[in-house]
């Protein structure tokens, strides 16, 4: 497939065939990651800036590792070490970076729409690594790829997304990707942590975790986005854990081979029991491994695309 896209801002930019192509490309790179020598010269001579204005462990390190394994030069920039702390605008910081002629910028930023803002103004590829509450397309792609590796196809599977939906860019991107690939999506969480206008989403919404878990093939727990919440949405985390924390009781109601996921970082004992997070049903570490392969695929597709 000839890749046509300059930027990855949201899952809505992709169609089913393109998502499948990402999965197939990531499968190839996953094999490379299992070799004794994991470095290949695929992107030798290319460069990408990892511009993370928000804290990150998994996303930043996996993009850095993905680039280096493809022999791409990666340069990391955090808010604390950039001129943003001196009052420089995002636009001027980005234009400064573009003057250095990178092939791509991976951006994580607290403002929704920040990736699109840069994409409209810069010639290099912009890959959205999370913008505010809006979107996290690479996380959705790696989550989908994890399930694709497990099942071979997402068609007809039922996936429950559990927790703080209202503040989660991961949930928004996953709903789009999972339904596009043929899965049935359920949402469950406290009413105060569900977004408005859910009637427009292609999902079934539950307020009872036990009902929501019945017959599901995968359950994706979400981290409580405490840093994005306004005070008063939850009495306390103990009450959340009592009513919406995932444990073995709920697993018994799901499909016999149900899988458990979490984008991380996990609050053990709050969103998910520690025993369940470490169980054979958990795909949490598989998601981390899939993240490197998926981001290798994305860097390859976007940095080697035929420029118009």
Domain spans, the chain: 11-134+288-303, 137-284
Q: CB atoms < 10 A from the CB of 182, how many?
A: 12
Give the pLDDT confidence score for residue 287 in this predicted structure. 97
Could you tell me the pLDDT band of residue 55, with boundaries at 50, 70 and 90? confident
Give the pLDDT confidence score for residue 235 in this predicted structure. 61
Share of the chain above pLDDT 70, in %: 94
Give the pLDDT confidence score for residue 240 in this predicted structure. 84
Give the pLDDT confidence score for residue 78 in this predicted structure. 76
Tens-place pLDDT, residues 130-186: 999 999 999 999 999 999 999 999 999 999 999 999 889 999 999 999 999 999 999
Query: Spelled out in words, what is the top-level CATH class assigned to the domain 137-284?
Result: alpha beta
The mean pLDDT value for 22-33 works out to 96
The mean pLDDT value for 284-302 works out to 97
The mean pLDDT value for 276-302 works out to 96
In this predicted structure, the answer to whether residue 103 has a pLDDT above a threshold of 60 is: yes
Specify the CATH architecture of the domain 11-134+288-303: 3-Layer(aba) Sandwich (3.40)
In this predicted structure, the answer to whether residue 214 has a pLDDT above a threshold of 80 is: yes
User: Which of 62, 272, 19, 54 lies closest to 163 in space, CA to CA?
Assistant: 272
d(CA 265, CA 203): 25
In this predicted structure, the answer to whether residue 30 has a pLDDT above a threshold of 70 is: yes
Q: Output the pTM of the full model.
A: 0.94
Give the pLDDT confidence score for residue 140 in this predicted structure. 98
| Cα angle 302-304-308, degrees, rounded to a multiple of 5 | 85
Give the pLDDT confidence score for residue 233 in this predicted structure. 66
In this predicted structure, the answer to whether residue 229 has a pLDDT above a threshold of 60 is: no
Binding positions for carbamoyl phosphate are 58-59, 108, 136, 139, 264-265
Binding positions for L-aspartate are 86, 169, 223
Give the pLDDT confidence score for residue 226 in this predicted structure. 66
Share of the chain above pLDDT 90, in %: 76
Give the pLDDT confidence score for residue 144 in this predicted structure. 98
301 sits in the region (left: phi over 0; alpha: psi -120 to 50; else beta) called: alpha
d(CA 226, CA 233): 10
Tokens describing residue 242: 């009592």
DSSP class of residue 187 equals E
Could you tell me the pLDDT band of residue 198, with boundaries at 50, 70 and 90? confident
Tens-place pLDDT, residues 236-252: 778 888 899 999 999 99
Could you tell me the pLDDT band of residue 306, with boundaries at 50, 70 and 90? low
The mean pLDDT value for 261-269 works out to 91
Q: How far apart are the first and last CA of the chain?
A: 16
Helix axes 16-33, 137-151, angle to 10 degrees: 70
Buried residues in 133-171 as b, exposed as e (16+ CB within 10 A)? bbbbbbbbbbbbbbbbbbbeebeebbbbbbbbbbbbbbb
Binding positions are 58-59, 86, 108, 136, 139, 169, 223, 264-265
Could you tell me the pLDDT band of residue 81, with boundaries at 50, 70 and 90? low
Tokens describing residue 123: 């010639």
Could you tell me the pLDDT band of residue 224, with boundaries at 50, 70 and 90? confident
* Arithmetic mean of pLDDT over the chain: 92
């Amino acid at each position: 497939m000839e890749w046509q896209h300059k930027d990855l801002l949201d899952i809505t930019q992709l169609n089913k065939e393109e998502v499948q192509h990402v999965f197939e490309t990531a499968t190839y790179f996953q094999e490379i990651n299992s070799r004794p020598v994991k470095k290949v010269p695929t992107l030798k001579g290319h460069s990408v800036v990892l511009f993370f204005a928000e804290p990150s462990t998994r996303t930043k390190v996996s993009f850095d590792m993905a680039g280096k394994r493809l022999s791409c030069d990666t340069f990391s920039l955090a808010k604390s070490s950039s001129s943003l702390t001196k009052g420089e605008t995002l636009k001027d910081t980005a234009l400064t970076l573009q003057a250095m002629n990178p092939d791509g910028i991976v951006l994580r930023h607290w403002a929704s729409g920040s990736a699109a803002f840069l994409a409209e103004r810069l010639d290099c590829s912009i890959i959205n690594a999370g913008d505010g509450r809006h979107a996290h397309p690479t996380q959705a792609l790696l989550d989908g790829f994890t399930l694709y590796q497990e099942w071979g196809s997402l068609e007809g599977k039922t996936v429950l997304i559990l927790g703080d939906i209202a503040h989660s860019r991961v949930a928004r991107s996953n709903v789009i990707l999972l339904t596009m690939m043929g899965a049935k999506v359920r949402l469950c969480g406290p009413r105060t942590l569900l977004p408005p206008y859910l009637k427009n989403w292609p999902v079934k919404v539950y307020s009872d975790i036990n009902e929501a878990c019945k017959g599901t093939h995968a359950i994706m727990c979400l981290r409580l986005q405490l840093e994005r919440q306004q005070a008063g949405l939850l009495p306390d985390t103990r009450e959340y854990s009592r009513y919406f924390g995932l444990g073995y009781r709920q697993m018994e109601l799901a499909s016999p081979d149900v899988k458990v996921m979490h984008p991380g970082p996990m609050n053990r004992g709050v969103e998910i029991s520690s025993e369940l997070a470490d169980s054979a049903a958990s795909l949490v570490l598989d998601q981390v491994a899939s993240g490197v392969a998926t981001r290798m695929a994305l860097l390859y597709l976007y940095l080697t695309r035929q420029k118009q």
